[in-house]
Amino acid sequence: MTVPFLNLRAAHDPIKAEILSAIQQVIETSAFAGGTFVTRFDEEFAAYCRTKHSVGLGSGTEALWLPLLALGAGPGDEVITVPSTFMATAEAITYCGAKPVFVDIEEKTYTMDPALLEKAITPKTKAIIPVHLFGQTADMDPILEIANRHGLPVIEDACQAHGAEYNGRRAGSIGIAGAFSFYPGKNLGAMGEAGSVTTDDDALKAKVETLRDHGQQKKYHHSMIGWNARMDGMQGAILSIKLKHLERGNEARRTNAALYHKLLAGEANIILPQEAPGRRHVYHLYPIRTPRRDIVLETLSKRSIHCGIHYPIPVHLQEAYKELGLGKGSFPVAERCAQEFISLPMFPELAPDQIETVVTELRLAVRSA
């Protein structure tokens, strides 16, 4: 049996008629750049995240970048995040002119280790960006306590955590802002590129709205240097439809994860992802850890089990950040995990027999490796 890593067609086919109708409405009204469909989605997504505001943008990278600009991050500043994340988290910091400073991750959750945060703070620190990796939130209460003590804003990188919760609070509603990506493979994915900033802060919302539209508060009146970071109307219309199915999809992911947990429990040389107490993991990915990862991955591929690696090189070891001078051994937990991660197939429509096939082939591959 061939098992795909992701099957977007399975998600889209049941709602294709609704999506095509929405696209037709956008064409008929010519609301292509921003406009009413984006405004409607902003209202719906803010309600879903339990925030006052959502500001639709062109990508998740812009959703990380613009709140930093709005908070005044710039040259000479430092912004703290983790090395175990997609490159965009650090890129957003760099494109403000600031310097990314890294804190290692917790071994069990793969998110920022609060015990290591305070010693990374300096007089240059401007903000903190914990990453809600793989669908689980970082441990936000101690992070916020430290941040508040130092007068620092916290921006949640929630690009993989649509609907995740921490002690009853939705991702994107805990810090001063949340950054979301709607890249097609996400739990809530557009049919193209899109992102959003969520916040309860009226002033931050207004600044992000201005920044996304070339610094305009009204047409041809530019109060600041901005960018073209608008969400397009078709993505707004499509996301409104797909948002209605997000909770069903998240629960299906959790059901799939529970079956993986059950079938792989106690398996030697496999470390399973864990849901921390008080958190709701939405399993954007299902990453296991195993020694000799590359051999296992190659074996699975030959058996038509399609998996992924997230992420094989921590950000601090990327060539793009070599000027930081952070060599191997700087963040041992992130580095060790990067050598062991395999992301197993995970999407809402994944069938139990597909999961059983993955588990059977995984066991054989790990034992032979």
Query: 1 in a domain, yes or no?
Result: no
* % the chain with pLDDT above 90: 99
Structural domains in the chain (count): 2
State whether 204 and 297 are in the same domain: no
Which whole number is the average pLDDT over 318-324?
97
Q: What gap in Å lies between CA 58 and CA 235, rounded to an integer?
A: 9
Please give the angle made by the CA atoms of 106, 143 and 64, to the nearest 5 degrees: 90
- Of 195, 226, 243, the one marking the end of a domain is 243
* pTM for this entry: 0.97
Query: Do residues 312 and 330 both lie within one domain?
Result: yes
Same domain for 325 and 275, yes or no, is: yes
- pLDDT tens column, 262-290: 999 999 999 999 999 999 999 999 999 99
Residue 267's CATH number: 3.90.1150.10
Whether residue 348 lies inside any domain: the answer is: yes
C-alpha span between 212 and 216 (Å, rounded): 8
What confidence tens digit (pLDDT) does each residue in 91-120 have? 999 999 999 999 999 999 999 999 999 999
pLDDT at 38 over 90: yes
Reported confidence tier of residue 308, pLDDT bands at 50, 70, 90: very high
**pLDDT at position 311 over 90:** yes
CB distance 226 to 216 below 8 Å: yes
- Phi/psi at 79 (nearest 5 deg)? -130, 130
Q: Which residues constitute the domain of residue 343?
A: 246-368
> pLDDT at position 218, please?
86
In a domain, 85, yes or no: yes
Average pLDDT, the chain: 97
pLDDT of res. 245: 98
Extract the runs of DSSP E, i.e. beta strands, from the chain: 53-57, 78-81, 99-102, 125-128, 155-157, 165-166, 169-170, 177-181, 195-199, 216-218, 221-222, 279-280, 286-289, 341-344
Question: Does residue 351 share a domain with residue 268?
Answer: yes
pLDDT over 90 at 129, yes or no: yes
Q: Given a cut of 90, is residue 5 above it in pLDDT?
A: yes
- Co-location of 56 and 114 in the same domain: yes
Q: What is the CATH classification number for the domain harbouring 208?
A: 3.40.640.10
Is the same domain home to 179 and 57?
yes
Are 260 and 231 part of one and the same domain? Answer: no
pLDDT in tens, 232-255: 999 999 999 999 999 999 999 999
Using CA of residue 102, residue 147, residue 157, residue 308, what is the dihedral sign? Answer: positive
Mean pLDDT of 288-310: 97
In a domain, 2, yes or no: no
pLDDT at residue 49 is higher than 90:
yes
291 with 192, same domain? no
The predicted model gives 218-228 an average pLDDT of 93
- Same domain, yes or no: 346 and 253: yes
What's the average model confidence in pLDDT over 175-182? 98
Amino acid at position 104, single letter:
D
Domain boundary residue, one of 228, 243, 258: 243
Same-domain status, 232 and 257? no
